[in-house]
Amino acid sequence: MPEPRRRRLEMRDVVHVYEGKTATRALDGVSLDVHDNEFLAIVGPVGSGKTTLVRIVAGFLRPTSGVVLCDGAPVTGPGPERGYVFQEEAIFPWMSVRDNLGFGLLAKGVVASEREKIVAELVRLIGLEGYEGAYPKELSGGMSKMVEVARVLATDPAILLLDEPFGLLDAQTRSKMQDQLSLLWEEKRKTVILVTHDVEEAIYLADRVVVFTPRPGRIKVEVTVDLPRPRSLETRFSPAFLALKRSIWKEIGRA
């Protein structure tokens, strides 16, 4: 059922050059719209500017030229309506799992009792009951990544920017996390940009996959993923899935 397709994020001719000893042209004119409640995945080779683009959308980086609009207004800095999960580890090691999860709510001024409720719900969602008081150093890499994703979800941002959130996980945890993210997205319906190296992950989760060229990053091809939802293990072996996978690999291979 085609919903009214409101444009949530608009990127127009985004160019980014990192100044420095060697000026690096990371993005070379990227134009991309992300619709409301759309799940968009970006794949591309190492150093193709994926993180750069997401940082610009998150508001941490100003593009050298071009504009990014969020709900029609230019992005000028980070904001709680755009939740950002970093490629590197960014949960606060000095806070317990509970305090990490509640931090966004604290910043928003949510009262303690309400905060507790939401945090308890999130803990259940990521299956970390019993670890509420633990410091991140007591968690495995996968567990802390889940905390990081859940921390961003706490304030219920309309847009989620996920930069290789599952990059460091083993295949099993990874697929579990993908299922959880998929469920979550279906339940809460958010606009998501997911950066990943994993073509299968991109197809499995996204409505649309954008493939970047090697540096300087440009959009090479866009592939619409019209696999039915909810998706499951079966989806991963369906002919339609494999056909999509094949066509994306072909695009990547054609340098």
Partner 1 sequence: MRLDDAARPPKARRVWLGLASVVALVAAYTLLSNAYRVVDPSLLPDPLRGLLRPQILPPTQRIVDAFVQLVGAGAPLAGGADLHPGDHIGGLVEQRVTLQGSLLVSTYRVLIGLAVGGSLGILAGLLMGWSRAVDEYVHPIYILFRSVPPLALITYVMLWLGHGTAHLLIPIIYAVFATVVIPTYHGVRDVADVYVKAARALGAGGRLLLSRVMLPAASPFVLAGLRYALVIAWMTTVGVEMLMGDDGVGYLLIGGGLWSSRLEVAGDPAVIVVGIVGLALVGYAMDVGVRVAGDRLTQWVKR
Under the rule (CB under 6 A), what is the footprint of ligand ATP? 18, 20, 24, 26, 44, 46-52, 87, 215
Task: Give the shortest CB-194-to-partner 1 separation in angstroms.
Answer: 16
Tell me the helices (H) and strands (E) count for the chain, helix number first.
8, 10
Beta strand pairing call for 82-85 and 159-163: parallel
User: Which of 27, 43, 51, 161 touches Mg ion by CB under 5 A?
Assistant: 51
- Does residue 16 contact residue 185 with C-beta atoms inside 8 Å? no
d(Cα 51, Cα 193) in Å, to the nearest integer?
Answer: 11
Examine residue 108 and tell whether it contacts partner 1 (CB under 8 A). Answer: yes
Binding range to partner 1, per CB under 8 A, among 21-29, 72-80, 124-132, 241-249: 72-80
d(Cα 121, Cα 176) in Å, to the nearest integer?
Answer: 18
* 105/209 with CB nearer partner 1: 105
Site string for Mg ion, 68-107 (x = CB under 5 A): -------------------x--------------------
Task: Give the DSSP H or E segment for 180.
Answer: helix 171-188
Examine residue 196 and tell whether it contacts Mg ion (CB under 5 A). Answer: no
Per DSSP, which regions of the chain are E strands?
Answer: 7-18, 24-35, 39-43, 65-70, 73-74, 82-85, 159-163, 191-195, 208-212, 219-224
Task: Give the shortest CB-198-to-ligand ATP separation in angstroms.
Answer: 11
Task: Give the shortest CB-20-to-partner 1 separation in angstroms.
Answer: 17
Dmax (CA) for the chain in angstroms is 55
Q: Which of 35, 88, 61, 92 is nearest to 222 (CA)?
A: 35
d(Cα 8, Cα 229) in Å, to the nearest integer?
Answer: 22
CA distance from start to end of the chain: 36
Examine residue 142 and tell whether it contacts partner 1 (CB under 8 A). Answer: no
175 binds, among ligand ATP, partner 1, Mg ion, none (CB under 5 to 8 A by kind): none
Task: Give the shortest CB-249-to-partner 1 separation in angstroms.
Answer: 33
24 binds, among partner 1, Mg ion, ligand ATP, none (CB under 5 to 8 A by kind): ligand ATP
User: Which of 13, 93, 121, 186 touches partner 1 by CB under 8 A?
Assistant: 93
Examine residue 141 and tell whether it contacts partner 1 (CB under 8 A). Answer: no
d(Cα 249, Cα 243) in Å, to the nearest integer?
Answer: 10
80 binds, among partner 1, Mg ion, ligand ATP, none (CB under 5 to 8 A by kind): partner 1
- Applying CB under 5 A, the residues found at the interface with Mg ion are 51, 87
